[in-house]
Amino acid sequence: MQREYPQQPLIGVGAIIIKDRRVVLIKRGKPPLLGEWSIPGGMLELGETLRQGAEREAFEETGFTVRATELLGVFDRIVPDANQRTSYHYVLIDFFCEIISGELCAGHDASDARWFTPQEVAALPLAEDTAAVIQLGFTESK
C-alpha cells in the first residue's frame, strides 16, 4: 500500500484513551507528523472492522488492551507538498476506548507514549480536528 502520494484516500483509525482526566498521546515515529504528539492510531487492515482496527492500533502503540466504544469523529487529513500535490490523504475515524488491561509503553510506530491533562493537551501544537476529538473524549469520559 502506497501511503505517500496515494492513488486514493486511505482509512486510518484512532483511539481516544482517557483515564483519571488524562488522555494517552503518542509521539509519531514515522511520517506523516514524525516527532509530533498524536492520538494512537494507524491504518485499517483488510478484514478488520473499524473498532477492531482502533483496538489493534491502541495495543500496538500504547500496550493497552482496549474496547472501542463510541464513535467520536470522522476527519480528513490531507497533506499537500510544496507543489500542492497531495502527499498524504487519510480519512480518520476516531473512537473512545476503554482500557481493559495493560501498562502504558510506546511501541510499533510510536517513539514515546504519555498521559496528558487537558491543560497539557491545550499547550500542544495539535491539528484542530485532533484537539477537538480529544476534547470530545474528555467530555464523554465524565
**What residues of the chain score a pLDDT lower than 70?**
none
Whether the predicted model's global pTM rises above the 0.85 cut: yes
Q: What is the pLDDT of residue 2?
A: 87
Domains along the chain?
10-140 (3.90.79.10)
The pLDDT value recorded for residue 140 is 85
CA atoms of 79 and 82, how far apart (whole Å): 10
Instruction: Name every residue whose Cβ is closer than 8 Å to that of residue 38 and which is 6 or more positions away in sequence.
Output: 25, 26, 27, 28, 126, 130
